[in-house]
Every structure is written in C-alpha cells, then in structure tokens.
Amino acid sequence: MCGRFALTLPPEAMVQIFGAAPANDLPEVPNWNICPTNAVHAVLSQEGSRRLVSLRWGFVPLWYTSPSDGPLLINARAETIATKPAFRQAARDRRCLIPASGFYEWTKDEDGRRLPWYIHPQEGEFVAFAGIWQDWSSPEGAAMSTCAIVTTAANEALGHIHHRMPVTVAAPDWALWLGEAGHGAAVLMRPGPEDLLAAHRVDPKVNSNRAEGPELIEPFDG
C-alpha cells in the first residue's frame, strides 16, 4: 500500500516535465510528509491537454453523502480496480499521474515498534504513481475532486518491507495511462523493475502525521 509520501519537485519543474498547464490552487512543496486527505499534485489529460491540478488524497465514491460516509479509500488495488464498483468507472475514464519523490512504509521490530522506511528512486528525483480520480459532490452541493493511488503486489526488492507497492508509470507510458494513446493501460498495473527503487530506514518521528522537514527522509541508524 502507500499511506504516506513526499514530494520536493517545484511546480515549475512538474509543468515542464509533464507538459501540463498548472492550476492556481496547487499544494505547497516541498512536503516531506503527505498524508491521507491532504491535497496532492496530479496530472490529468482532458480534451487533448494535460493539466497539473490539486486533488484530495482519498477517493470518494459517488454514492457517499459525505467524505466520511465510508472507508477512506487512499489506495485502489490493481487486481480488482476494474470490477470494484467504487473504482471501475474511474479506472476506465479518469486516470491520473501522481508525482512523488518517495514514499514511506513500516516494518516492526521484535518488540512491536513501528520502524519507518523511505523508498525512493535509485536514479532521478521522482516517480509517477498511477492514480484514479473523481469529482464528488454532496447532496447539499459541497464539491471536491478526489483521488486514489493504484497499488500492486510488491516486487522482490521491496517485499521484505511490505507486500504491496504503488504502481509506478515510466515516462514512455504516461500517455497510455492518461488515455492519450488509446486503450491497454491495464498492462501497466504491475510491479516496477527490481532496480527502480531503493529503501533506507528513517527516523521514527515520521510516525507522526504532524512531522515536517527534510530530515524525515534522511537515513537513520537508531
């Protein structure tokens, strides 16, 4: 799964890298501790143009009467995304890319303490997570745009930390995932290459969703 991540790329860099027009309400970066329900950067493709927008991380199905009307859906499993009622239409028609500099996962020691790891690209400054998005509105008219990160079974390189990992989309496949290059995006929902990501232990202070600062991603030996 993916329950926390970091992004340090400035908006200007994301605009250039993805060839996307920026919205006016983008979240602040850098952010070393992006949590569920936070606003995240996402790249959408609509009517032949890419946009860099802000989405709430936590997909809200259309039948929810409020964002808390059911489970908080921050991840969508690749194995069931095409059939699960909450996600299947978005998986067909509303896919997005969610840039991340890295993400966090946790293991436990023999005493049950949570040990955080930071997982990041071995080369380059970021990866693009596969995502799905949806506009939602309440019966009273409150509206928001929401998203979930697509996950799959972890590859061997990361399986000792967690059994799930985000689906990452390589640059040559961005157009296919966004629906610009026709059909067949389902083939992209697989674990990334074994040498794509590296991991190191980080300070347990990141266990708090209030923790901030670049030290959260620094290697930790304690």
What tens digit of pLDDT does each residue of 83-117 get?
Answer: 999 999 999 999 999 999 999 999 998 888 899 99
Q: Is residue 159 part of a domain?
A: yes
| C-alpha Rg value of the chain to the nearest Å | 17
User: What's the CA gap between 134 and 57, in Å, rounded?
Assistant: 11
Q: Is residue 51 part of a domain?
A: yes
Instruction: Look up the CATH number of the domain holding residue 38.
Output: 3.90.1680.10
Q: Is residue 37 part of a domain?
A: yes
Q: Is residue 189 part of a domain?
A: yes
Q: Which domain holds residue 65?
A: 5-102+118-196
Q: Is residue 179 part of a domain?
A: yes
Q: Is residue 22 part of a domain?
A: yes
Alpha carbon of residue 35 to chain centroid: 10
pLDDT per residue as tens digits for the range 174-213: 999 999 998 889 999 999 999 999 999 999 999 999 999 9
Q: What token pair was written down for 61?
A: 């199905």
**Would you say the C-alpha torsion 30, 204, 55, 77 has a positive or negative sign?**
positive
Q: Which is catalytic among the residues 28, 47, 105, 123?
A: 105
Per the annotation, the verdict on 218 as an active-site residue is no
User: What's the CA gap between 89 and 23, in Å, rounded?
Assistant: 24
Q: What token pair was written down for 21?
A: 């027009």
User: In the chain, what is the straight-line distance between the N-terminal and C-terminal CA atoms, in Å?
Assistant: 25
The pTM (predicted TM-score) of the whole model is 0.96
Per the annotation, the verdict on 96 as an active-site residue is no
Looking at the 3D structure of the chain, how many domains does it have? 1
Q: Is residue 222 part of a domain?
A: no
User: What's the CA gap between 32 and 74, in Å, rounded?
Assistant: 18
pLDDT bracket for residue 3 (50, 70, 90) = very high
User: What's the CA gap between 170 and 21, in Å, rounded?
Assistant: 20
pLDDT per residue as tens digits for the range 19-75: 999 999 999 999 999 999 999 999 999 988 999 999 999 999 999 999 999 999 999
Q: What is the pLDDT of residue 31?
A: 98
Q: Is residue 202 part of a domain?
A: no
Going by C-alpha positions, the residue among 86, 133, 100 that lies closest to residue 17 is 100
